[in-house]
Amino acid sequence: MEKYDVIVVGAGISGLLSALTLSKHGNKVLVLEKNNNIGGNCNSYVVDGFQVDTGAHAITHLEVGPLRRLMDNYFDYMPVFEDYGHYYVRTEDQFLKVPSNVRDFVTFDVLPRKDRIVVSQAITKALTLFTFGIDLSKQSVYDFMSDNLSKDTYDFVDAISYFLSGRDMKETSVQRVLSGSSFVRDSVLQEQMESIMKVHEKPQTEPVLKSILTSNLHTSLQTRMNKASKPLTTLGRLATNKVSYSQGYPRKGLKSLLNAVLFSLPKSVEIKTGCEVKKILTSNGKVVGVEADETYYANTVVYTGFVTDLPKMVETLPSSYVEELKGVDHTKSLTVWLGLDSLLEEFNYIGSEIWFKNQPYWAMPITNYDSSLAPKGKQLVGFSFIIKEEKSESSEIKNAYETIFRAIPCIEDHIQMKHEQITIPEKAAVTINGYFADARTPINNLYVAGTDTDSRSMGITRAAYSVIELLQKMNEDRNLHK
Ligand X SMILES: Cc1cc2nc3c(=O)[nH]c(=O)nc-3n(C[C@H](O)[C@H](O)[C@H](O)COP(=O)(O)OP(=O)(O)OC[C@H]3O[C@@H](n4cnc5c(N)ncnc54)[C@H](O)[C@@H]3O)c2cc1C
Residues that bind ligand X (CB under 6 A): 9-15, 32-35, 40-42, 54-60, 276-277, 304-305, 333, 335, 384, 423, 425-426, 450-451, 459-461, 463
By beta-carbon proximity to ligand X, the closer residue of 145 and 292 is 292
Instruction: Say which amino acid occupies 108.
Output: F
Asked if residues 333 and 423 have their Cβ atoms less than 8 Å apart, the reply is yes
Minimum gap (Å) between residue 43 Cβ and ligand X: 8
| Beta strands 332-340; 29-32: pairing state | unpaired
Minimum gap (Å) between residue 427 Cβ and ligand X: 6
Minimum gap (Å) between residue 6 Cβ and ligand X: 15
Minimum gap (Å) between residue 202 Cβ and ligand X: 30
Minimum gap (Å) between residue 54 Cβ and ligand X: 6
By beta-carbon proximity to ligand X, the closer residue of 9 and 149 is 9
Neighbours of 205 (CB within 10 A): 10
By beta-carbon proximity to ligand X, the closer residue of 153 and 335 is 335
- Main-chain dihedrals φ then ψ at residue 114, nearest 5 degrees: -60, -45
Minimum gap (Å) between residue 154 Cβ and ligand X: 24
**What is the rounded CA–CA span in Å between residue 419 and residue 369?**
20
**What is the rounded CA–CA span in Å between residue 354 and residue 135?**
29
Minimum gap (Å) between residue 10 Cβ and ligand X: 3
By beta-carbon proximity to ligand X, the closer residue of 127 and 243 is 243
Minimum gap (Å) between residue 56 Cβ and ligand X: 6
By beta-carbon proximity to ligand X, the closer residue of 121 and 423 is 423
By beta-carbon proximity to ligand X, the closer residue of 149 and 428 is 428
Asked if residues 457 and 178 have their Cβ atoms less than 8 Å apart, the reply is no
**What is the rounded CA–CA span in Å between residue 112 and residue 276?**
53
Neighbours of 234 (CB within 10 A): 15
**What is the rounded CA–CA span in Å between residue 476 and residue 132?**
31
In Å, how far are 40, 242, 257, 320, 382 from 35, measured between CA atoms? Answer: 8, 38, 19, 31, 24
Asked if residues 285 and 37 have their Cβ atoms less than 8 Å apart, the reply is no
Start-end of H helices in 58-197: 66-74, 102-106, 113-131, 141-144, 151-165, 174-180, 190-196
Minimum gap (Å) between residue 400 Cβ and ligand X: 12
By beta-carbon proximity to ligand X, the closer residue of 445 and 461 is 461
Instruction: Say which amino acid occupies 292.
Output: A
By beta-carbon proximity to ligand X, the closer residue of 142 and 436 is 436
| Beta strands 3-9; 295-303: pairing state | parallel
**In what helix (H) or strand (E) does residue 457 lie, and over which residues does it extend?**
none
By beta-carbon proximity to ligand X, the closer residue of 253 and 305 is 305
